[in-house]
Amino acid sequence: MTLKLRNGVSSADTDYGIVLLDEDSGEYWNLNPTGALVLQTLLDGGTPAKAAQELIEQFAVDADSANRDVEDLVDGLQSAGLVGR
């Protein structure tokens, strides 16, 4: 699953993760370092499994939590209309 930010959504790296701006609505979303890692992995063409593996390696979380976190983030980004495929 390759995700891309939809047109009208911009991102900026911060010291604490990534900020997404929906330029149409003016709404901001702050992603913490784990969310930023997942999003960047998927934007770079990685799979959800790859994103979960990155979480496991970099943040020492268990596989079930990592997979659930990736799924929840993707669902949230899609529900907010921030990403497309």
Give the pLDDT confidence of 17-53 residue by residue, as tens digits.
999 999 999 999 999 999 999 999 999 999 999 999 9
Q: 63 and 56 in contact (C-beta within 8 Å)?
A: yes
Q: What is the pLDDT of residue 2?
A: 75
Output the pTM of the full model: 0.92
Report the mean per-residue pLDDT for the chain: 94
Confidence of residue 1 (pLDDT cuts 50, 70, 90): low
Q: CATH number of 4-80: 1.10.260, 3.90.105, 1.10.10, 2.40.30?
A: 1.10.10
Q: What is the pLDDT of residue 30?
A: 96
- Give yes or no for residue 13 having a pLDDT over 80: yes
According to DSSP, the residues that pair with 14 across neighbouring strands are 17
Instruction: Name the residue ranges covered by the structural domains of the chain.
Output: 4-80
- At residue 45's C-alpha, the angle toward residues 43 and 46, to 5°, is 100
Work out the percent of the chain whose per-residue pLDDT is above 90.
93
